[in-house]
Amino acid sequence: MTEPLLKLNAVCKSFGTTDVLSDVSLEVRAGEVLCLLGDNGAGKSTLIKILSGFHEPSSGTMEAGGKKVCFKSPRDASSHGIATVHQFGGTFPLMSIGRSFFVGAEPLKGLWPLRRFDRKLANSIAVREMQALGITRITDGDRLVGGLSGGERQALAIGRAVHFGANVLILDEPTAALGVKEAAHVLRLIMQARQKGIAVVLVTHNVTHAMTVGDHFAVLIRGALAADFHKGERTREEITDLMAGGEAMAELEAEIEAYQLAHHGHTPEPAELERLTHDPSGP
Ligand SMILES: Nc1ncnc2c1ncn2[C@@H]1O[C@H](COP(=O)(O)OP(=O)(O)OP(=O)(O)O)[C@@H](O)[C@H]1O
């Protein structure tokens, strides 16, 4: 088996007195899609912010390419080939496709002091990369990003990451808010990235999407790694149950059963049920 491209060893993260991640150990390898699953507030975003250099772990260590790393900023993470694409592609609506593709790494032309942005080159590369990802409708790099569909924006962001040599691609809910066809296209882009040997970390709430492209699955429940398994090791029902906090439902069922036993078979009244369902750790 290949060396993991990214590895977390017993990572914990707290904000003040709030413990958000506890003792998370996880790895992702080249050419693998790791799906990070979990209910709202489980800690998925916090985990990917650690992987992408937005947050430092409170304790625990991280390795990239077999070497211990400590990312102080997103720039540190990107210098190790880690690219993060945020939910809406993280692109700038009022920028052109060519500008947005090269933001921070603009190709220049002309001699100093007249060096300036090479719009034609930027546009042609951006359009070529998008077309290579199957977005053949885009032929004009001067078009504004704001006029692209959600799937096209994802393609722009993924194309950009691949063009700049990412070896780990972190995608935060890339199919949320997309129609069925667009979501399918984004899933195809993920498969293309995997075929190129890129490690993909995919955050999603959608079990179907995860099961379609995932090789490796990690489920977070209240900041802890509740399950870490590979394709074929769990059924869809088991994954759905884990994601929906199946253990919380099992606890509630046990509490209702105990109530019925203690109250001669009566089911709890609505007020009592509310008291039972109230999760003291909730908001
Ligand atoms: N900067 C912060 N300061 C304090 N608490 C935070 C901070 N960031 C996140 N949290 C808390 O950490 C917990 C996990 O949040 P996180 O955003 O990582 O969850 P998530 O799994 O990504 O949720 P969702 O699916 O809803 O996006 C939440 O209870 C959240 O309120």
Q: Whole-number mean pLDDT of the chain? A: 86
pLDDT per position as a tens digit, 62-81: 999 899 999 999 889 989 99
Cβ-based neighbour number of residue 142 at 10 Å: 12
Distance 97 CA to ligand 1 centre (A): 32
What's the pLDDT at 200?
A: 95
The percent of residues above 70 in pLDDT, for the chain, comes to 88
Q: Check residue 281 and give its pLDDT.
A: 46
> Per residue in 231-261, pLDDT tens?
999 988 888 887 776 555 566 667 767 777 7
Q: How far is the CA of 210 from the centre of ligand 1 (A)?
A: 21
Q: State pLDDT tens for residues 107-142.
A: 999 888 888 999 999 999 999 988 888 888 889 999
Structure letter (DSSP) for residue 172: E
Q: Which residues pair with 170 in a beta bridge?
A: 84, 201
Residue positions counted in the chain: 283
Antiparallel, parallel or unpaired: β 33-38 and 216-221: parallel
User: Which residues form ligand 1's pocket by a CB distance below 6 Å?
Assistant: 15, 18, 20, 38, 40-46
Assess whether pLDDT exceeds 70 at residue 206.
Answer: yes
Query: Which stretch of DSSP H or E encloses residue 42?
Result: none
Residue 108 CB contacts under 8 Å (≥ 6 apart), including other chains? 115, 116, 117, 118
Please report where in the chains the tokens 């359009």 appear, as a residue.
127
Q: How far is the CA of 176 from the centre of ligand 1 (A)?
A: 18
Confidence band (pLDDT; 50, 70, 90) for 283? very low
Considering only CA atoms, which of 198, 139, 134, 123 is closest in space to residue 164? 198
Atom 25 of ligand 1, residue of closest alpha carbon: 40
CA-proximal residue: ligand 1, atom 16 (nearest)? 43
Nearest to residue 224, comparing CAs of 8, 69, 34? 8
C-alpha to C-alpha distance for 34 and 113, rounded to whole angstroms: 47
**Which domains does the chain carry?**
1-81+167-231 (3.40.50.300), 95-159 (no CATH), 245-283 (no CATH)
pLDDT, mean of residues 37-55: 92
**Strand order through the sheet with 216-221:** 82-85, 168-172, 199-203, 33-38, 216-221, 224-230
